[in-house]
Amino acid sequence: MPRRFSIRVTGLLVGACCASATGCSARARAGIPVEAERVAQAKGELVYQVPAGGEAYILDASDNKIVWSGHLREGETLTIQPEADRVAVDLQSVAEPDLDKDHRYTVFLRRD
């Protein structure tokens, strides 16, 4: 009996260590690819001009969830307007997610 108990405890400890090792980084990036770099962050309205094309991700850093993702081309301007629940590219609305004006939003870009 004691032997089984030690195997179960060891298995639980290994599982907990693995979960904590990957869990923290997963929570911080909410499924955003590791190749994507943080390029802008703000509380309230955010305007970002894209220097090079790629896949963009908007993370609600307060809730740790992706609120929008899409491909952007070099020179386009991404705008996040929490008070209007609006994400726009070159002033054209691309999404109307439920945004909170008191949250911090982060833009990540995985360049082409």
* Domain co-membership, 41 together with 17: no
- CB under 8 Å to 76, separation ≥6 — which residues? 49, 50, 89, 90
Which token pair is 85?
A: 């629940």
* Domain co-membership, 26 together with 53: no
* Domain co-membership, 24 together with 43: no
* Domain co-membership, 14 together with 66: no
54-60 and 37-43 as β-strands: parallel, antiparallel, unpaired? unpaired
pTM over cut 0.85: no
Say if residues 55 and 73 touch (Cβ distance below 8 Å).
no
- Which structural domain range is residue 84 located in? 35-111
Q: Where are the alpha helices (DSSP H) in the chain?
A: 2-29
Q: Which residues pair with 95 in a beta bridge?
A: 87
**What is the chain's pLDDT, residue by residue, as a tens digit (112 residues)?**
454 443 343 333 333 333 334 444 444 577 999 999 999 999 999 999 999 999 999 999 999 999 999 999 999 999 999 999 999 999 999 999 999 999 999 999 999 9
